[in-house]
Amino acid sequence: MSDRLLEVRDLRTTFRTVAGAVQAVGGVSFDLGANETLGIVGESGSGKTVLARTIMGLQPRTNVEVTGSVLLNGHEVVGASERAMRALWATEVAMVFQDPMTSLNPVMRIGKQIDETLRVRLGMDRHAARARAIELLTMVGIPSAESRYRAYPTEFSGGMRQRVVIAAALACSPKLLIADEPTTGLDVTIQAQILNLLDSLKQQLAMSVILITHDLGVVATRASRIIVMYAGRIVEMGDTRDVFYHHRMPYTRALLQSSPKVSNAPHTRLAVIPGRPPNLATAQVGCAFAPRCAYATEQCHTERPVLVEAAAPGHRFACWNPLPEVAEALR
Ligand SMILES: Nc1ncnc2c1ncn2[C@@H]1O[C@H](COP(=O)(O)OP(=O)(O)OP(=O)(O)O)[C@@H](O)[C@H]1O
Ligand SMILES: [Mg+2]
């Protein structure tokens, strides 16, 4: 048995829509080890959520085609029945969804929502489930967990609600937690608290984490490796340090420049990447980023670049006209 918790190979997710086939994930391959935090970054619409949902085996069965392979702790997800997936959800893999309000039932006490997962998935009785739910709420930093257990989601602030969502995801001690934009909509101080919480829970529970964000700043100090996505594909990947300081793909640089920095004065205008992401319903020729790229050459418009190895082990980029390797001293 390898120590790889997750092996994704040539994963493709295509939606059949009235406008034609939309390839939201277009041939993604990567591995994730035990106890590792992987950051997945990319602009809105780059396919982060579709990738996460495909790894979870959560795509609807109709009008979607998924090919390739997702091995989760040795279990193949692609093509697995919902019944087979149910056995993996919560215990092997759990997800904190992008919109925390939709993952909590507004008319159900939060304790009950966690209880249910424990009773259905782990077969716990009512008392054991209640005790465990209170323990989980305490673990994620909900004060007076015993009384808050009976509160409704609307009685919590945004940050506290996100803690509840995390507690629910962790109910069955998953080996992998996928957190999709877990801090969007929260103010900066609360964002840091939630990210710190995820970090400490990861250590405490010895799990792996996939942290999805459009903001490279969020994953800078949290992830050991980073995947950069554009138009459903990986355009650069590597150790966090390499992606930050030795990136070769112009899109990675553009993302870094658009990332808000704590040192920015309030209301600083961020450099946004000019142009729009491509329409995924039309066939892509060449590099999908070429129309927006200041460095694009003729070849970039006609031939699709594949991921090639950079200098450092595990660092790869897909670009015909990459940025020069930046010497450490130039940082
Ligand atoms: N059910 C669907 N049918 C058709 N197209 C879809 C469907 N779901 C997602 N898409 C398309 O797939 C692409 C990727 O969407 P996805 O939600 O994964 O982006 P994202 O990177 O998570 O963006 P964001 O940062 O805004 O959350 C988008 O172009 C989106 O319109
Ligand atoms: Mg998303």
Domain boundaries, the chain: 4-35+47-83+221-330
Atom of ligand 1 nearest to the CA of 51: 18
**Does ligand 1 lie within 6 Å of residue 213's CB atom?**
no
Q: What is the reported pLDDT for 272?
A: 74
Cβ–Cβ < 8 Å for 52, 95: yes
Q: What is the reported pLDDT for 150?
A: 96
Placement of tokens 């979870």 in the chain? 56
Q: What is the reported pLDDT for 240?
A: 97
Q: What is the reported pLDDT for 229?
A: 97
**Does ligand 1 lie within 6 Å of residue 277's CB atom?**
no
Dihedral sign for Cα 128, 131, 132, 133, please: positive
d(CA 124, CA 17): 42
C-alpha 272 to ligand 1 mean position (Å): 20
Q: What is the reported pLDDT for 264?
A: 53
C-alpha 148 to ligand 2 mean position (Å): 30
Structure tokens given for 269: 């205008």
Ligand nearest the Cα atom of residue 59: 1
d(CA 83, CA 94): 16
Cβ–Cβ < 8 Å for 175, 92: yes
d(CA 175, CA 173): 7
CATH superfamily for 4-35+47-83+221-330 is: P-loop containing nucleotide triphosphate hydrolases (3.40.50.300)
Q: Residue 58: exposed, middle, or buried by beta-carbon count in 10 A (0-12, 13-18, 19+)?
A: middle
Does the model's pTM come out above 0.85? yes
Nearest residue (by CA) to ligand 1, atom 12, is 24
**One-letter-per-residue 3-state SS of 205-223:** HCCEEEEEECCHHHHCCCC
User: Residue 101: which residues within 8 A CB-CB, separation 6 or more?
Assistant: 153, 161
What is the Rg, in whole angstroms, of the alpha carbon atoms belonging to the chain?
20
Cβ–Cβ < 8 Å for 91, 124: no
Q: What is the reported pLDDT for 1?
A: 42
Cβ–Cβ < 8 Å for 13, 154: no
Dihedral sign for Cα 237, 57, 162, 173, please: negative
Nearest residue (by CA) to ligand 1, atom 8, is 50
Cβ–Cβ < 8 Å for 215, 259: yes
Q: Please count the other Cβ atoms lying within 10 Å of the Cβ belonging to residue 203.
A: 9
C-alpha 97 to ligand 2 mean position (Å): 9
Nearest residue (by CA) to ligand 1, atom 17, is 49
d(CA 21, CA 15): 6
**Does ligand 1 lie within 6 Å of residue 17's CB atom?**
yes
Ligand nearest the Cα atom of residue 41: 1
C-alpha 53 to ligand 1 mean position (Å): 11
d(CA 126, CA 138): 18
**CA dist 198 to 83, 139, 146, Å?**
29, 11, 22
pLDDT in 10s for each residue of the chain, 331 residues: 457 899 999 999 999 999 899 999 999 999 999 999 999 999 999 999 999 999 999 988 889 999 999 999 999 999 999 899 999 998 899 999 987 667 889 999 999 999 998 999 889 999 999 999 999 999 999 999 999 999 999 999 989 999 999 999 999 999 999 999 998 888 888 889 999 999 999 999 999 999 999 888 889 999 999 999 999 999 999 999 999 999 999 999 999 988 766 555 555 555 678 888 898 888 889 999 999 999 999 999 999 999 999 999 999 999 999 999 865 544 4
Cβ–Cβ < 8 Å for 228, 252: yes
Q: What is the reported pLDDT for 313?
A: 94
d(CA 204, CA 140): 11
Q: What is the reported pLDDT for 60?
A: 83
